[in-house]
């Protein structure tokens, strides 16, 4: 067996910031500590914090007045912030800055009188927060067909925004249809799909051509992880979205194939390491890391947790295309599998 370890994979800057913020809050304030929504969409991460006394809630009524409350990386609506203030909660905002950017765009377009089309997945925590930023102005679409059903008050004053974890290709098709229906439509000055989502999707698109099968480490409620598995399937490769090595079924493998291993932006490094170790032990796999992009973005901790001058945020993104690299010995590329 040959394992192709995709890079980049796993935690992005926003997830690192949110998890680091929750760790710091536990150090400072102890348990119980409340979080609105899951801090990130990963079962291993969330279960680990639960064992340490973190309580994840979907309703602020479940949070005792005066308690510390962390907002998840997915962001919250202004109404949630108002409710928290009313309940005198001591809030810590771990919203990913790239999600916060979308909220600011929604508020700006609303102030300017635009009808706003949000491209995203209904019910996703991030989408719920963005919809709540300008509820009277925003309409959600998930598909090209949804665009055809839109009815907007002024077709000459329309703007669009996107969820940060969408399929780049799917979003592009929806935007193209929006431009056909609303030629005057405007969008964000800088696209909303985050750098980490794009980089992980690009890596799978490139590396899947060498693979017979794809393992995606990530939870089933992780939008960006699901997109990676979908890309593999679109390229006619079987793909399995799993939370860890315990979910691997040896029957998936012959033992001599090329297996692409990647991870969504909220999947921790240890789950990848466990899966690679399982395949190496069970099938004698050789491992090579192939790097498509290099990421060095960092976000500062939530301001409520900082001491002294606010640290600068590293500019985004820095993504340099590279050839195969990494700590593992390179092996010759496998021939492409006919599609």
pLDDT at 330 over 50: no
Q: Does 215 lie in the same domain as 154?
A: no
| Burial (0-12, 13-18, 19+ Cβ within 10 Å), 55 | middle
Question: Could you tell me which residue, 310 or 222, shows the higher pLDDT?
Answer: 222
Q: Does 84 lie in the same domain as 126?
A: no
Other CB atoms within 10 A of residue 233 CB: 12
CATH code of 33's domain: 3.40.50.11270
Catalytic residue among 105, 126, 202, 289: 126
- Dump pLDDT digits (tens) for 52-94: 999 999 999 999 999 999 999 999 999 999 999 999 999 999 9
Task: For residue 321, list its beta bridge partners.
Answer: none
Q: Does 119 lie in the same domain as 60?
A: no
Of 112, 147, 181, the domain-final residue: 181
Order of strands, sheet of 286-291, starting from the edge strand that comes earlier in the sequence: 239-242, 213-217, 258-263, 2-7, 286-291
- Dump pLDDT digits (tens) for 242-270: 999 999 999 999 999 999 999 999 999 99
CATH code of 140's domain: 3.40.1010.20
Q: Does any domain span residue 218?
A: yes
- Dump pLDDT digits (tens) for 138-158: 999 999 999 999 999 999 999
> Does residue 275 contact residue 253 with C-beta atoms inside 8 Å?
no
138 is written with which tokens? 């925003």
Q: Does any domain span residue 322?
A: no
Q: Does 250 lie in the same domain as 156?
A: no
Q: What is the mean pLDDT of residues 188-209?
A: 95
Of 181, 207, 240, the domain-final residue: 181
For 186-192, the CB contacts below 8 A with 24+ separation are: 186/109, 186/114, 186/158, 186/159, 186/160, 187/159, 187/160, 187/161, 188/101, 188/102, 188/105, 188/161, 190/101, 191/162, 192/98, 192/101, 192/102, 192/105, 192/161, 192/162, 192/163, 192/164
Distances (CA, A) of 59 to 69, 94, 99, 197, 211: 12, 17, 21, 29, 44
Assign residue 143 a region: left if phi > 0, alpha if psi is -120 to 50, beta otherwise? beta
Query: What confidence score (pLDDT) does residue 306 get?
Result: 86
Longest dimension (CA), the chain: 62
Q: Does any domain span residue 328?
A: no
Q: Does any domain span residue 198?
A: yes
Q: Does 149 lie in the same domain as 209?
A: no
Q: Does any domain span residue 175?
A: yes
Q: Does 205 lie in the same domain as 298?
A: yes
Q: Does any domain span residue 128?
A: yes
Q: How far apart are CA 6 and CA 25, in angstroms?
A: 32
Q: Does 270 lie in the same domain as 226?
A: yes
Of 115, 146, 181, the domain-final residue: 181
Q: What is the mean pLDDT of residues 96-106?
A: 97
Question: Could you tell me which residue, 212 or 339, shows the higher pLDDT?
Answer: 212
The yes-or-no answer on residue 126 being catalytic is: yes
Query: What confidence score (pLDDT) does residue 59 get?
Result: 96
Query: What confidence score (pLDDT) does residue 189 get?
Result: 86
Q: Does 86 lie in the same domain as 17?
A: yes
Q: Does any domain span residue 162?
A: yes
Task: For residue 260, list its beta bridge partners.
Answer: 4, 214
Query: pTM (2 decimals)?
Result: 0.87
Work out how many domains the chain is built from and give that number: 3
Q: Does 56 lie in the same domain as 129?
A: no
Q: Does 226 lie in the same domain as 213?
A: yes
Q: Does 160 lie in the same domain as 102?
A: yes
207 is written with which tokens? 């590396």
Q: Does any domain span residue 331?
A: no
Determine the angle formed by the axes of helices 78-86 and 125-133, rounding to 10 degrees: 90
Question: Could you tell me which residue, 18 or 339, shows the higher pLDDT?
Answer: 18
Query: What confidence score (pLDDT) does residue 130 get?
Result: 97
Q: What is the mean pLDDT of the chain?
A: 90
Q: What is the mean pLDDT of residues 297-313?
A: 73
Q: Does 156 lie in the same domain as 232?
A: no
The alpha carbon torsion through 139, 141, 145, 148 (nearest 10 deg) reads 30
Parent domain of 284 = 2-11+194-305
Query: What confidence score (pLDDT) does residue 314 get?
Result: 31
Q: Determine what percent of the chain is predicted with pLDDT higher than 70.
A: 90
Query: What confidence score (pLDDT) does residue 190 get?
Result: 87
Choice among 112-126, 179-193, 289-303, 305-319 with the minimum mean pLDDT:
305-319
Q: How far apart are CA 22 and CA 276, in angstroms?
A: 28
Nearest CA to 224 out of 116, 294, 120 is that of 120
> Does residue 130 contact residue 120 with C-beta atoms inside 8 Å?
yes
């Amino acid at each position: 067996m040959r394992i192709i370890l995709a890079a980049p994979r796993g935690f992005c800057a926003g997830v690192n910031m949110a998890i680091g913020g929750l760790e710091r809050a536990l150090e400072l304030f102890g348990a119980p500590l409340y979080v609105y929504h899951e801090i990130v969409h990963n079962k291993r991460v969330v279960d680990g914090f639960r064992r340490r006394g973190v309580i994840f809630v979907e309703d602020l009524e479940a949070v005792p007045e005066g308690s510390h409350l962390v907002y998840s990386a997915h962001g919250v609506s202004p109404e949630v912030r108002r409710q928290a203030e009313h309940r005198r909660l001591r809030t810590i905002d771990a919203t990913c800055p790239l999600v916060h950017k979308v909220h600011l765009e929604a508020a700006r377009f609303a102030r300017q009188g635009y009808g706003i089309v949000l491209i995203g997945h209904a019910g996703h925590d991030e989408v719920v927060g963005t919809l709540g930023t300008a509820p009277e102005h925003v309409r959600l679409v998930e598909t090209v067909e949804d665009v055809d059903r839109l009815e907007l008050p002024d077709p000459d004053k329309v703007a669009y925004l996107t969820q940060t974890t969408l399929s780049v290709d799917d979003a592009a098709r929806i935007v193209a249809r929006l431009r056909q229906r609303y030629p005057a439509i405007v969008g964000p000055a800088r696209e909303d799909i985050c750098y980490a989502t794009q980089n992980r999707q690009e890596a799978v698109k490139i590396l899947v051509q060498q693979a017979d099968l794809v393992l995606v480490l990530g939870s089933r409620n992780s939008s960006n992880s699901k997109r990676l598995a979908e890309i593999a399937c679109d390229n006619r490769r079987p793909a399995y979205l799993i939370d860890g090595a315990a979910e691997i079924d040896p029957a998936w493998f012959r033992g001599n194939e090329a297996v692409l291993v990647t991870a969504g932006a909220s999947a921790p490094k240890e789950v990848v390491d466990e899966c690679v170790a399982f395949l190496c032990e069970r099938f004698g796999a050789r491992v090579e890391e192939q790097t498509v992009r290099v990421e060095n973005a960092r976000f500062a901790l939530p301001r409520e947790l900082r001491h002294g001058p606010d640290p600068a945020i590293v500019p985004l993104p820095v993504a340099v295309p590279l050839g195969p690299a990494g700590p593992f010995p390179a092996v010759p590329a496998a021939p492409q599998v006919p599609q």
